[in-house]
Amino acid sequence: MERILIIGAAGQLGSELTFTLSQQYGGDNIIASDLNPKALEKFEYCKTAVLDIMDQDAVRKLIKDQNVKQIYHLAAVLSATGEKNPRFAWQLNMDSLLFVLELAMEFKMDKIYWPSSIAVFGPNTPKINTPQFCVKEPNTVYGISKQAGERWCEYYFQKFGVDVRSLRYPGLIGYKSLPGGGTTDYAVDIYHKAIAGEHFDCFLSADTALPMMYMPDAIKATLDLMHAPKENVKIRSSYNLAAISFTPEEIYQCIKTHHPDFTISYSPDFRQAIADSWPDSIDDTRAREDWGWKHDYDLKKMTADILRNLPAYLVNF
Instruction: List contacts with ligand VAH (CB under 6 A).
Output: 78-79, 117-119, 142, 169-172, 182-184
- 68 CB-near residues (< 8 Å, 6+ apart): 2, 3, 4, 5, 31, 62, 107, 109
Q: Which lies closer to ligand VAH via its Cβ, residue 41 or residue 269? A: 269
Task: Report yes or no: 232 and 290 within 8 Å, Cβ to Cβ.
Answer: yes
Give the DSSP H/E element, type plus range, for residue 214.
Answer: strand 210-214
Least distance from ligand VAH to the Cβ atom of residue 12, Å: 7
- Among candidate residues 202, 222, 181, the one with its CA nearest the CA of residue 262: 202
Q: Which lies closer to ligand VAH via its Cβ, residue 20 or residue 81? A: 81
Establish whether 25 is a catalytic residue: no
Cα angle 112, 29, 17 (rounded to 5 degrees) comes to: 55
Around Cβ 157, how many Cβ atoms within 10 Å?
Answer: 19
Q: Which lies closer to ligand VAH via its Cβ, residue 203 or residue 262? A: 203
Active-site annotation holder among 72, 142, 214, 252: 142
For ligand VAH, which residue has the nearest CB?
A: 182
Least distance from ligand VAH to the Cβ atom of residue 158, Å: 25
Q: Which lies closer to ligand VAH via its Cβ, residue 172 or residue 226? A: 172
Within its chain, how far is the Cα of 276 from the centroid?
A: 19
- 299-314 and 248-256 helices cross at what angle (nearest 10)? 70
Task: Report yes or no: 186 and 257 within 8 Å, Cβ to Cβ.
Answer: no
Q: Which lies closer to ligand VAH via its Cβ, residue 119 or residue 153? A: 119
Least distance from ligand VAH to the Cβ atom of residue 115, Å: 8
d(CA 84, CA 96): 19
Cα→Cα distances 288→143, 176, 285, 292, 295, Å: 24, 27, 5, 5, 10
Least distance from ligand VAH to the Cβ atom of residue 82, Å: 8
Least distance from ligand VAH to the Cβ atom of residue 116, Å: 8
Could you list the active site residues? 142
